[in-house]
Every structure is written in C-alpha cells, then in structure tokens.
C-alpha cells in the first residue's frame, strides 16, 4: 500500500518537520519526503503493508510533531 501525505506546518518550520521524518525513513516506510510550494508545505510518500501500519506512521510519527498543523492522506489504488 502506498500513500501520499500532504503536510501543513507552522510558518518557518517545514524543513524541521522534514528532517524529523527523514530521520525515520528506513524504519517507518517513508520513501520520499520533499518540501513543496503551494497549499501544502511538504509531501511524504509512505509504503506500508496495511492500513494499520500506515495509520501508525501517520499518527505516531508525523502528527506528533509539534510543528505539523494539518495532514491530508491520499491512499493510492493499484
């Protein structure tokens, strides 16, 4: 299963958020973590074996970061 997580961060903190996520990349299934211009501050690609694992990564790693104000998750169909 693959998901794209769109992140909104507190102003001026998107690079800090990405550093924290990238530090856990190999352990947590994060394949790509990039800053972007536009409505969101970052996009993260996660590969997980199931919805339970994906939920764990999103809630316990990404959303616990105090600089993350909003996430939107897009799960791919394949």
The string of DSSP codes covering 20-66 is HHHHTHHHHTEEEEEE-SSS-SEEEEEE-SSHHHHHHHIIIIITTST
Query: If you ran DSSP here, which 8-state letter would residue 50 be given?
Result: S
Average pLDDT estimate for 19-23: 82
Number of folded domains in the chain?
A: 1
What pTM value is reported for the model?
0.88
CATH number, residue 68 = 3.30.70.920
Mean pLDDT, the chain, as a whole number? 89
Which residues constitute the domain of residue 36? 2-75
Query: If you ran DSSP here, which 8-state letter would residue 10 be given?
Result: S
């Amino acid at each position: 299963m693959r998901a794209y997580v769109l992140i909104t961060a507190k102003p001026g903190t998107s690079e800090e958020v990405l550093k924290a996520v990238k530090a856990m990349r190999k352990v947590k299934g994060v394949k790509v973590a990039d800053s972007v211009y536009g409505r969101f501050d970052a996009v993260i690609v996660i590969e997980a074996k199931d919805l339970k694992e994906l939920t764990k990564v999103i809630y316990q790693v990404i959303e616990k970061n105090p600089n993350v104000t909003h996430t939107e998750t897009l799960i791919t169909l394949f």
